[in-house]
Structure 1
């Protein structure tokens, strides 16, 4: 079965939204992911919020190409979380027809994080998108079991989700059994890349790899065959490969096509 494939923000981060949409269409992806909210103050992002002309241009590109917006980034649940901080992101997600928003758990108090995740799901309900909690080993949601626990303790809201990133699967204590234990209703998409697997990395090393030194699928030793066999056969896959050194040698279109070719043996 052919899975729907999305060009993740990190694979096309050099492009503004309208170019990312056109690039996805040109290189064979059916969807695109956009980072319209930075992952840290002042960090890189794609500019679309508060820019009506750019939004109209992006919407026109979506109509013209048939590409859809799959996910938007990023909401971080911190100790001072207020779900209305991201009202502009919800609004633009609805305008773009986005399916999901990526959520990170940045609170070491799991009870408070769980309560705030439930508040987020409630705030997002009118906008038709899922709140996909991504486990990352340097955050308050370190592995797949923790993500499932948070979602269940939040009451398993109807728009709840768990995002499985191959990188974080390979660098956390998560097992294939943990992945299989995630209910299908909570799985909306997964992300593919590769890297050196293991749980011995420092937080700085984990973050560096995630943000700028991922490997093409097949160039590392994460069990990608096992992971994507454990996930539903029809689950959409976001191709998320950023490697600043490699990207310096390839224009965005070549890199996007290269990432797709490398992913197909695992998800095609």
Structure 2
């Protein structure tokens, strides 16, 4: 399994700072936060970024988060997606992480999923034209896509595009009560990346992103990761934490602690 850090873990800092800190800490990969990328490209080119990543030795694992938003003002989300599809191959990145919208009260689950699937199919075709994969992130407690079973169902309804897979997040799967059987049912060729983190103890429906912790410091069992390791998963484990308390610390401390605790987690599997 390979080490990676997500730009959310160091949210207040710039993309340039993310790259420097991730490389210094020893990470192999970086997930690039979309807003930081957009800010960087206001004054730099994609060629500048590609060179910076290459000189740092970091793999640009994904750009995230993009949105499947058929039920809101979808114009900005679609525009961002089109931009990301163009940018990704220019910086050596072949993966975009996409998050689903929530189910409107006026629609049944089946109706909402069908609309999502239609949108996802269009996105997949656009991405495929640029050699880019999409990975669907299930969200803890989500009304439509709370876990891998629903994410795979959505992909199937979209026509099972070859360039669409799933993103696992240990916090979201913990919140949604994802079972061992669901983990075992994820095709490894559809599992693009795993977000790792931990969280405080508490009622599942009361856990928020702000209560995430560094890996190994909370109550999330490592069992699902062990199951996937035993099945042969060798992809990236990306530390993604949205904790304001951590964000107040120097970026070198955040990245260093993330790398150290990720190493402890991997060693325990």
| Structure 1 and Structure 2 fold alike (TM over 0.5) | yes
In the alignment, the residues of structure 1 paired with residue 246 and residue 34 of structure 2 have an alpha-carbon distance, to the nearest angstrom, of: 24
Q: What CA RMSD, in Å, does the superposition of the two structures yield over aligned residues?
A: 2.1
Is contact 1:32–1:69 with CA below 8 Å preserved after alignment? yes
2:176 corresponds, among 172, 176, 180, to 172
Q: Which residue of 1 aligns with 2:61?
A: 70
User: Per-residue displacement from partner, 1:104-144 (whole Å, max 9, x unpaired)?
Assistant: 11042111111211211111002222111011123521122
Say which structure is richer in helix.
Answer: 2
- Runs of 4+ in structure 1 over 4 Å off: 80-84
Change over 3 Å in CA distance of 1:151–1:133 after alignment to 2: same
Structure 2 gap segments, 5+ residues each:
104-111
Q: Per-residue deviation at 1:17? A: 1.6
Q: Which residue of 1 aligns with 2:128?
A: 125
So what's the TM-score if we normalise by structure 1? 0.85
Q: Per-residue deviation at 1:213? A: 3.1
Q: Per-residue deviation at 1:146? A: 0.7
Number of equivalenced pairs: 251
In the alignment, the residues of structure 2 paired with residue 112 and residue 247 of structure 1 have an alpha-carbon distance, to the nearest angstrom, of: 37
Q: Which residue of 2 aligns with 1:149?
A: 153
State the secondary structure of the residue aligned to 1:156: coil
Q: Which residue of 1 aligns with 2:137?
A: 134
User: Per-residue displacement from partner, 1:46-80 (whole Å, max 9, x unpaired)?
Assistant: 43475252544422211212211111112211225
State the secondary structure of the residue aligned to 2:38: coil
Q: Which residue of 2 aligns with 1:239?
A: 239
In the alignment, the residues of structure 2 paired with residue 242 and residue 93 of structure 1 have an alpha-carbon distance, to the nearest angstrom, of: 24
Q: Which residue of 1 aligns with 2:189?
A: 185
Q: Which residue of 1 aligns with 2:90?
A: 95
In the alignment, the residues of structure 2 paired with residue 198 and residue 158 of structure 1 have an alpha-carbon distance, to the nearest angstrom, of: 38
Q: Which residue of 1 aligns with 2:251?
A: 252
In the alignment, the residues of structure 2 paired with residue 219 and residue 255 of structure 1 have an alpha-carbon distance, to the nearest angstrom, of: 14
Q: Does residue 1:58 correspond to 2:58, yes or no?
A: no
In the alignment, the residues of structure 2 paired with residue 47 and residue 79 of structure 1 have an alpha-carbon distance, to the nearest angstrom, of: 22
Q: Per-residue deviation at 1:168? A: 0.5
State the secondary structure of the residue aligned to 1:261: helix
Q: Which residue of 2 aligns with 1:31?
A: 29
Q: Does residue 1:160 correspond to 2:155, yes or no?
A: no
Is contact 1:213–1:244 with CA below 8 Å preserved after alignment? no
State the secondary structure of the residue aligned to 1:93: helix
